[in-house]
Each structure stands twice: as C-alpha cells, then as structure tokens.
Amino acid sequence: MRIYVCVKQVPDTAASIRVIEGKRIDERMTFIINPYDEHCLTEAAKIRDARPGSEVIAVSLGGPSARDILRSALAMGAERSLHIQSERPHDAMETARILKAAIDLDGKPDLIFTGRESIDSCGMQTMFRLGALLQIPVLSNAVDVDIQEGEAFVSTEAELGSRLQYSLSLPCIIGAGRGLNTPKYPTFPDIMKARKKEIRTLDLQDLRFEPSASSMELLELRTVAEDRTPRPIEGDPDTAVEELIRILEQEARII
Amino acid sequence: MMQQAGVFIEETDGRVKDSVLGVISYLRQKDVACCAFVISGSPGGHAEQLGAYGVHRIYAIEFQEEAQARNPQFKARAVAEAMQAAGVTILFGQTSPTGRDLLPRLAALFDAPLVMDCTEVDLEDLTVSTSAYSGKTEALYRVRGEYLFFGMRPNHHLKKPAAANPELIPFHAKHRDANGTAFIGKTDTADQGRDLNEAKVIISGGRGLKNGENFQLLFDCARELEAAVGASRVAVDEGWVPYTMQVGQTGLKVNPRLYIACGISGSVQHFAGMKTAGLIIAVNTDPKAPMVKNADYYLLGDLFEIIPKLTQKLKARAVGKKTA
Ligand SMILES: Cc1cc2nc3c(=O)[nH]c(=O)nc-3n(C[C@H](O)[C@H](O)[C@H](O)COP(=O)(O)OP(=O)(O)OC[C@H]3O[C@@H](n4cnc5c(N)ncnc54)[C@H](O)[C@@H]3O)c2cc1C
C-alpha cells in the first residue's frame, strides 16, 4: 500500500505571535508539526507495518521550515518525503491543487491522511478539496480506521460525542481527529535514521495544475488585545459565593 | 435589489438551534433575504420557527431513502442541488461538527471559497473576519468566486425575532452517486451532556478536579445553571472525561456568554478554545495562575468547597423563587 501523509508546519502553540506590516507573522520562532498530523503519521505507520511492501510518504508545502517538519515526519516513521518548495502563501483552492499535483507526480495513492485541521489557520477544508480533485471519498475527524481489502472502515466523531461509522472505497482520504490514537514519538535511533532518509524537493514550477477561478486573499492580520481586567471575588467562602451569584444574575444575566 | 443568502439549518431536539437563528438574525439586520435549507425528518421544515425569525423561503430537502440522509456525500450533493434550484450562491452554516463536514464538501464541489469561524461577513465588499493562530490574531480575508461559503462562529450573533411568512418548498434530491461513501451506523455515547457549541454557560474542570468522579460536582452545578460541562486536556488525557468535552486548541472552540474555569491553570492552549467567552470567571487556589490573571473575575479558593456551596445556594434560590 502506498500511503501519503500531508503534514504542515505550524507555530509552536505556546509562542506569542507578532504581526508584521499588518499582513504576515514574524516567523522567527519555533515551528512544530501540526498536532493532528502526528496522529496521521502514527496511524499510517501502523497500517504499513501490517502490510509488507507498503510505504509511507510525507508531503509538505512551504518554505525551509517545512523541511524540519518533514524530518520529524521521517523520524515518526515515514520512509521518504516530498517537499514542495514555496515561500508565498497559498489559499485553500491552490494548496489542494499543489498537493494533488505533487502526489500525481510521485505515485498512485491507496490512502491519504491529513490532520482534521491545522491549528494555525483552521481552514478545515484541504482534505475535502483534495478529495474532489482526485475524485475519491473523504471523511474527516476520524477516531477509528480499519483497512480491509479495497475498503476503509472509518468512525468519525459527531455531535455530542456520538460516533458515525462509514465504509469508504480505496483510495480515499482520511482526516485524523485526536481520538484516533496516541502519537508515537520518535526515539533517538529513529531520529538518527531519519537523517539518512530522502527529502525529495519539488519546485512549484514543476507542478502542473489549472488555477481556480475562486480565491481567498488575506487582507489584514491583527493581534487580538487581551483586555480583561481581573477583579477579585472576596470574602469568606459564603460571602464569596453570594457575590458570585450576584455576578451570575446581574452581570452575566444567566440566572 | 435585496441580497439573498442561504442558511443551512441545524437542529437539536427537533428545534432549530439558537445559534443558527442567530445567523439568520444577523443576515436580516444586514437586509439580506434568507433562504433556509432544511434536511429534516420533521415535517413542515420548521416553518413556524424559521418564520418567526424572518426567513423568506424554506427548501425542505427529502431523500429517496433514509440512509441517504445519513450519507455526508449525498447530503452535500442534495444541498448543492437545492441551492442551484433556489438560485442561491452564498451559503451560511456554522463551525459545528455538522458544518465542519458539510461546508467543506460543498466548497470543494463548487471549487468555491470557504471561511470557517467567521465573526463578520460583508457581502458588499466580500470581506470576512475570522480568527487565526489559535485566536491570538484576527484575520480579514477577501473572497472571490461564483459561489461563497461561510461557517459562522456559533453564538457570536444572538437571535432576534422578526416575523415573516415563509414559502415552504419541498425538494427531492435526485443525485444517486455516493462516490464510494457508505453509511453503516451510529453509536450514541452514554453521556447526555449539553452541546458545548450551543451552550450559553459552560463550567469546566481541569487537573484541580483530581479524578473523574469529582466531575459530578460540576455536573450538579451545571444542572442549576443550565450549563454544559467542559474540561482541560489534562482531565481528558487522564481519562477522567471524554475527549468531546475538551476545550482548547486541540479540542473545541467554544463561545458562551459565561465560562467558569475550575481548577484550570489557563494555558495558552486552553485559552485558544474559550478566549472569546463573554465573561470568564476563574475558581482557583493559585493567585498566579494565568486563568486568574486573564479572567474577568477570580475567586481564590478551593473548588471542592466553593462549587458545592454554589450548587446548594442556587438550588435554595430556585426553590425560594418557586414558592415566592
Ligand atoms: C500542542 C498542544 C495542544 C494542547 N491543546 C490543549 C487543549 O486543547 N486544551 C487544553 O486544555 N490544554 C491543551 N494543551 C495542554 C496545556 O498546555 C496544559 O497542559 C493544560 O491545559 C493544563 O490543564 P489544567 O489547567 O487542567 O492543569 P494544570 O495546568 O495542572 O492546572 C491545574 C490548576 O488547578 C488549580 N487547582 C488545583 N487544585 C485546586 C483546587 N482544589 N481548587 C481550585 N483550584 C485548584 C491549580 O492552581 C492549577 O492552576 C495542549 C498542549 C500542547 C502542547
């Protein structure tokens, strides 16, 4: 089986974000692999290990930091990887086209994993667009995946924690949710081995795709002010709870 | 001419969700005529409720077989067909589990822009406000396309009645190709908690709760407040409560009027999921906790003392009101 995993570099979740020129963020910070993509890699490795002759290929679109992320992906079990070099931002329509073109150039997928969303832009749509372009089925927010002959049985998480079960014909695309597995982080030998694995570089010019007639353009990025002024609720527990109830009633107006 | 937009209707317990009515009210205030798309077992397409909020037309989508209504691919195709039949090119939905599946499928079908977690949409100059970088920044996008899709942030706009007399149009979905996707079944979870996305009040617990049984304290209090119960990632990772209760960067993004955080330190990742709450109240023993420093109110104290006391006083108050 040939399994592609789309991975994305995102700013470290604890990092503070500095906006430059009202349009970009200051990228002098630590980037991490999108947390949902770690579930993808762990699941892909598990499926591969159960099927001799299978391989996992990590794919990433981005600048130099995408290479670091691909190294992490290789350490988490991918055999090899594709780095589509680009320094400029791409909207969701274009991203899906680029990923499709890169995968087409590399080989025929049996399975493609993406995270259910990337935690920076939270577009939540790349997998569906990729599916439409490849004309293969897609499910996102998967919490259980079982690959059988020509078919994937997938459970997704829906409203109020209920679970929906589906079967998808292969090839298909699965968006990993957090309940899918516990990510298997690399050991030191994994990291050493990853250094020798291949990162194939693709240039955007080498990829062929029809541009979309639609577009999404970022006009402005603003830091959100943290403007709460904390006030204490004081007194012994009884007094404090009375005051709390007053706040619920008169300020929050929920009782 | 008056602008026209579609709204995808989500329901809970056979009623239209309040957050969806909020989106309809928002569009009405902008003088946009609303066309509702309903996929529902309930007859009548919620005409009465939708009419009370100013919806002009209702497309009640019906399937040939029940299983098709459960198939996300059929559902998306059916809404796409209904939009075309209605001449609607702009569709609003919600950033909810339903919207997260349906809207990107539709956007992919039409190769159209989609922005999720929107707070404001300007249909004149086609700009949209949304959050980026886990709520640390706000982004303004311009969208272009023959079709446009927006997933609104739940509860950002509140519902306001505006009576209309909607035309009800039954619509039979024709599309027959499931595109390799088959629905097998549904398992409901044992917990019948409230929907965190819809909740106006949320009370959440973290490591400070110490174990899963203690969450009962929050559930008891939540009953009095008509609140939903949320949790930090630690409480989920410890196995105390299910993942569906996790609030934060890698959990749910919630937008209640009131968020009470009990025994939660207030990490950046937790804030990413609740920083837009109207009012934040922290109950914590540590005056230096970030939750305390970034709340509107903080109560320094032991949650095991404070929360049961709160529940008890709320109960007494409710009884007092009834007899009064
Ligand atoms: C990539 C990534 C994604 C993450 N995503 C999320 C996410 O989505 N959601 C999330 O919540 N976290 C997330 N985290 C984890 C986050 O960094 C914190 O570890 C977590 O939020 C801490 O949980 P906590 O506040 O319950 O525990 P702690 O930080 O241990 O805080 C416990 C608090 O309880 C207080 N306390 C203890 N006893 C009492 C008592 N008796 N009465 C009152 N107060 C008491 C303490 O003073 C303390 O402030 C993520 C982390 C990473 C790296």
Give one DSSP letter per residue of B100-127, joined into a string.
HHHHHHHHHHHT--EEEEEEEEETTTTE
Q: What is the pLDDT of residue B13?
A: 83
Inter-chain residue contact A124 with B112, CB threshold 8 Å = no
Q: What is the pLDDT of residue B123?
A: 96
Q: Which domains does chain A have, with CATH numbers?
A: 2-206 (3.40.50.620)
Q: Is B304 in the pocket of ligand 1 (CB under 6 A)?
A: yes
Give distance in angstroms: CA of A65 to centre of ligand 1: 29
Give distance in angstroms: CA of B264 to centre of ligand 1: 5
Angle, helices B303-323 vs A237-246, to 10°: value is 50
Number of C-beta neighbours around residue B63 at 10 A: 17
- Go through chain B and tell me how many residues it has: 324
Q: Is B264 in the pocket of ligand 1 (CB under 6 A)?
A: yes
Strands B90-94, B3-8: pairing is parallel
Q: What is the pLDDT of residue B196?
A: 92
What type of residue sits at position A233?
I
Q: Is B214 in the pocket of ligand 1 (CB under 6 A)?
A: no
Averaged over A236-254, what is the pLDDT? Answer: 95
Averaged over B78-85, what is the pLDDT? Answer: 97
> At B222, is the pLDDT very low, low, confident or very high (cuts 50, 70, 90)?
very high
For B54-70, the DSSP string reads: T--EEEEEE-SSHHHHT
> At A161, is the pLDDT very low, low, confident or very high (cuts 50, 70, 90)?
confident
Cα–Cα distances in Å, from A143 out to A3, A155, A251, B40? 18, 6, 40, 26
A242: pLDDT strictly greater than 80: yes
Which residues 82-121 of B have a C-beta within 8 angstroms of A? 95-98, 100-101, 103-105, 107-109, 111-117
Whose CA is closest to B114, among B103, B122, B124?
A: B103
A173 has which bridge partners? Answer: A112, A138
Lowest mean pLDDT among A82-86, A224-228, B112-116: A224-228
pTM for the full model? 0.92
A38: pLDDT strictly greater than 80: yes
Look over chain A and give the mean of its residue pLDDT values, rounded to a whole number. Answer: 94
> At A162, is the pLDDT very low, low, confident or very high (cuts 50, 70, 90)?
confident
Whose CA is closest to A50, among A139, A144, A146, A138?
A: A146
> At B324, is the pLDDT very low, low, confident or very high (cuts 50, 70, 90)?
low
Rounded to whole angstroms, how far apart are CA atoms B194 and B229?
A: 8
Q: Which long-range contacts (CB under 8 A, 24 or more apart) does B95-99 make?
A: B95/A124, B95/B151, B95/B152, B95/B153, B95/B154, B95/B253, B96/A159, B96/B10, B96/B19, B96/B154, B96/B197, B97/A141, B97/A157, B97/A158, B97/A159, B97/B197, B98/A158, B98/A159, B98/B10, B99/B8, B99/B10, B99/B151
Q: What is the pLDDT of residue B177?
A: 79
A99: pLDDT strictly greater than 60: yes
> At B55, is the pLDDT very low, low, confident or very high (cuts 50, 70, 90)?
very high
Over residues B90-142, the pLDDT tens digits come to: 999 999 989 999 999 999 999 999 999 999 999 999 999 999 988 889 999 99
Cα–Cα distances in Å, from A16 out to A19, A28, B19? 10, 11, 31
> At B191, is the pLDDT very low, low, confident or very high (cuts 50, 70, 90)?
low
Averaged over A245-252, what is the pLDDT? Answer: 95
Q: What is the pLDDT of residue A105?
A: 96
- Tell me which residue in A19, A162, A214 faces B187 most closely, judged by beta carbons: A162
> At B48, is the pLDDT very low, low, confident or very high (cuts 50, 70, 90)?
very high
Inter-chain residue contact A219 with B142, CB threshold 8 Å = yes
Rounded to whole angstroms, how far apart are CA atoms A117 and A99?
A: 15
Q: What is the pLDDT of residue A249?
A: 95
Strands B297-300, A151-157: pairing is unpaired
- Determine contact: B126 vs chain A, CB below 8 A: no
> At A227, is the pLDDT very low, low, confident or very high (cuts 50, 70, 90)?
confident
Q: What is the pLDDT of residue B14?
A: 87
Averaged over A105-128, what is the pLDDT? Answer: 93
Closest Cα in chain A to B137: A223
Q: Which domains does chain B have, with CATH numbers?
A: 3-172 (3.40.50.620), 201-323 (3.40.50.1220)
Write the DSSP symbol of residue A116: S
Averaged over A183-210, what is the pLDDT? Answer: 95
Q: What is the pLDDT of residue A212?
A: 97
Rounded to whole angstroms, how far apart are CA atoms B56 and B277?
A: 32
Rounded to whole angstroms, how far apart are CA atoms B210 and B231?
A: 12
Q: What is the pLDDT of residue B192?
A: 55
A174: pLDDT strictly greater than 90: yes
Residue B304: both structure tokens together = 């095991």
Q: Is B204 in the pocket of ligand 1 (CB under 6 A)?
A: no
Rounded to whole angstroms, how far apart are CA atoms A137 and A112?
A: 11
> At A134, is the pLDDT very low, low, confident or very high (cuts 50, 70, 90)?
very high
What type of residue sits at position B19?
S
- Determine contact: B290 vs chain A, CB below 8 A: no
B202: pLDDT strictly greater than 90: yes
The protein residue whose alpha carbon is closest to atom 29 in ligand 1 is: B265
A35: pLDDT strictly greater than 70: yes
Contacts of A119 in chain B (CB under 8 A): 134, 249-250, 272
Inter-chain residue contact B139 with A223, CB threshold 8 Å = no
- Determine contact: B195 vs chain A, CB below 8 A: yes
Rounded to whole angstroms, how far apart are CA atoms B83 and B89?
A: 7
Answer whether B241's CB lies under 8 Å from B231's CB: yes
> At B143, is the pLDDT very low, low, confident or very high (cuts 50, 70, 90)?
very high
Contacts of B268 in chain A (CB under 8 A): 13-14
Rounded to whole angstroms, how far apart are CA atoms A83 and B20?
A: 41
A160: pLDDT strictly greater than 80: no
Q: What is the pLDDT of residue B190?
A: 62
Contacts of A220 in chain B (CB under 8 A): 139-140
CB contact burial B161-191 (16+ within 10 A = b; e otherwise): eeebebebeebebeeeebbbbbbeeeeeeee
Lowest mean pLDDT among A4-8, B203-207, B244-248: B244-248
> At A173, is the pLDDT very low, low, confident or very high (cuts 50, 70, 90)?
very high
Q: Is B251 in the pocket of ligand 1 (CB under 6 A)?
A: yes
The protein residue whose alpha carbon is closest to atom 28 in ligand 1 is: B265
Handedness of CA A174, A176, A181, A186 (dihedral sign): positive
> At B67, is the pLDDT very low, low, confident or very high (cuts 50, 70, 90)?
confident
